[in-house]
Structure 1
């Protein structure tokens, strides 16, 4: 089995509280990919559950060394420092634990459980502690970090939040994706040998991990997150969301008090339904409908987004051109643009 398959089975065992099975599967995954920091950090947590804190400390230190040498993301580095701090706390090395907790806080102040561990550990600092033994860290071969820049976007409907990671020719066995109640962790092994990592932690709202999924397309990885609360409009993808509310489409033409991401999938569905009822449209509108009807999903989204955001002055079928930024209004010379209403 591949490392990703073993990792997925190990996660299932962990969620079922079968820690012995999870430990065995994570160990097999690490044998396949000994320099994968996600695998090491997950096994570290299993060792903590089994109260094997010295083994947990070794995994946490090894994962941190991997991330420092490969220039890992700040989110993963924060998590590695947190796990180092937790294991050192259990080993009663409170001063060293405090250093790791503070390093984690500087990289990601919102790291889950960090505030609790900072408080618990600070209460122990005055106590005398023995010097910690040096953790055993396996020698690592240097790796070259990827210089590629990978873009991701997101949109939503009543039921799902969809995250698109734009990367061509992704192989299924290079993808490792874990869903949690309020976060997701994605890792993709790139052709250069480096890893692409996307950590959304915490998500703006909770999801249902077992009903979330992903699929690999020719130019991207599409991730569908099942909303725990259907019908709630996410005002942000991650972090605190002060604008979450019931999803609705405004019928007013005045300026919005809060800029919300448009649900292009819902607009596509509405247009499809309208096409079935439309009769007697002018020739130009008929041509528009014919192009739209025979288009793929990305083309439909591009047409809707460009037409709406440009107030009817631009119609594009290229999602790559219009998907990443607002489309400007460009009326013909001598004419004045007016904002479309009812969209």
Structure 2
């Protein structure tokens, strides 16, 4: 349990409410709360950076750019992870503003600071695709047409899941097939048409070759094949905990769930977890850095043993079912 002063507790409560609003797509409320936090702690780079993200969602790119630059200035002596996020946000903003060479510089700096950032691969690819076109405008003496209007963001969608697929229903009527461009990547789902739905990064990896979409009269239905079958996604994009689906686990949702683990980490980046939180953090860190066989062994042993056993040896665990091994003095009980 963290011992917080009244001021710290107020900031923590506001931060949790602001993140709730952000995850619920209530960006106006999120903006109001993050602005209050920035007013309370104007030198807190984390608060400024989060407001920068909200401005991006609201398509207020000039204000997002201002916050991104302010966060970067505050982080000159800050942590590498936050510094990497600030460069990433600036790279995305500058790309959306059409300032591709400047965007490339920030994206590469973010990659240097944190090469494991999942979103970087997609944005570097997007930015590099347009960089050659920019070079041509300097050497060819022809008039350059102004950029086409940005697509309208398709905000009305729902998603649900079973143990194998994530299904996303985007509610747009009478869309022609030649106006839809959906590409599947292992951690992203960028779309292109008169409307756009950017899901980057996805909460977990998918199998692009086994994912698909179809266009109906009232909606576009997108099916994403889960790379790890049997794992429930707590959220559609961003960071998420790994949770095994059981008979009591709901299999559908129409609203983005909160990532409470991410919120607790963001409240105090320097705080050391204790007890069960420390155990969960250790599990996630081991899983994140492990090779595919080790990840399979961890998930198989954890799910089959109902959380009482964790193995990293696939050669040992892959050929047999893991038994439930409750702690000494306790018994395993199956709930109906």
TM-score (norm 2): 0.46
TM-score (norm 1): 0.45
